[in-house]
Amino acid sequence: MAQAASKTCEICISASGLQYCLECEQYFCENCKIFHKRQKGTINHQFQSSSDVIPEGKSKCPYHKEDLCFLCNTCNVAVCSSCVTGSHTGHAFSKLMDSITKLKEKIKKDLHRKVHEKTQNLKKIEEGLKAFDVNVEVVVKAITEEGTNIKAMVDKCIAGMIASVKDQSKTEKDKLTTIMADSKMNLKAGSDIGNKIYELEKTRNDGKLLQSLQKLTDDIAKLTVEPLFEFPNIQYTAKPVTDNDIKQLFGILKISGVRTQDIGNREKELPKPKSDNEQDTKPKEEGKYLFRCNKCGKEERSHM
């Protein structure tokens, strides 16, 4: 890689290298960049301003000190040309930059898809929340109306029971009033007989007095003393009422909780992207990682 201080086009070696190719790791002038982007093999290369580039040395193979330019797909580790014909003979390979480009594209595509799905889900959640709020208002209104109807029926029942109490009590009171009136009439008749007896005591004892006394005897016999009756009584026994009894008067309320929808073929969670230093490894010492080949089982160190 060229030094950042020069920033000279590494193609024509004359103009200023104002653009930097991320795949080739080279500085380009504007004209060379245009030509580079027209080439079939490099048309998709990405550029950025050279002022934003932080120069770094290319990764070297720890065994052969060559540039790491291939990816061993069998071991999932970056290797150099000598590794391809050496310890990784017979493995499957791809160009390192191609693998990086494909991985970037995959990450972008997967991220875009998931962001789109999340956006759609959020929209559906917002719509569902609005619909749920509307349903809540409908249910609250229905409960209120039912409660109002139940109150009206309770008030009507109370009014009917009170009217019945008053009607029946009036009937019994009328009976008592009639009995009291009859008793008072008999009592007055007895008082009248007593007054007559008092007057007869002032008359002489003769046959006429006898007839008068005999008549009073008949009048006294007609006086009746009715036996005391069982007086009417009234009472009300309230039934114990619980909150559950009141709830039984209302309809049934059902509300389902929030549930996630099961998807038949669930998409696996994307694995966390690993750096060049982290390909199923365990650290041995800083800057060094041990790789185990999935095919041959051989362990290798890498300084990437």
Q: What pLDDT score was predicted for residue 291? A: 47
173-202 pLDDT, tens per residue? 999 999 899 889 888 988 988 888 888 877
Tell me: pLDDT of 279 over 80: no
Closest CA to 114 of 262, 270, 264, 263: 270
Looking at per-residue pLDDT, the higher value among 271 and 108 belongs to 108
Q: What pLDDT score was predicted for residue 80? A: 92
Q: What pLDDT score was predicted for residue 56? A: 55
Q: Average pLDDT over the chain, rounded to whole?
A: 82
For residues 282 and 302, is the Cβ–Cβ distance under 8 A? no
Residue type, 84: V
What separation, in Å, do the N-terminal and C-terminal C-alpha atoms of the chain show? Answer: 16
Closest CA to 77 of 64, 92, 90, 65: 92
Task: Report the C-alpha gap between 104 and 109 in whole angstroms.
Answer: 9
In 229-281, where do the E strands start and end? none
Closest CA to 258 of 114, 132, 136: 132
82-134 pLDDT, tens per residue? 899 899 989 999 988 888 888 899 999 999 999 999 999 999 999 999 999 99
214-258 pLDDT, tens per residue? 888 888 888 888 888 888 899 999 999 999 999 999 999 888 888
For residues 302 and 277, is the Cβ–Cβ distance under 8 A? yes
221-231 pLDDT, tens per residue? 888 888 888 88
Task: Report the C-alpha gap between 252 and 198 in whole angstroms.
Answer: 84
134-146 pLDDT, tens per residue? 999 999 999 999 9
Tell me: pLDDT of 23 over 50: yes
Q: What pLDDT score was predicted for residue 261? A: 64
Q: What pLDDT score was predicted for residue 280? A: 45
The first and second tokens of residue 221, run together, are: 């016999």
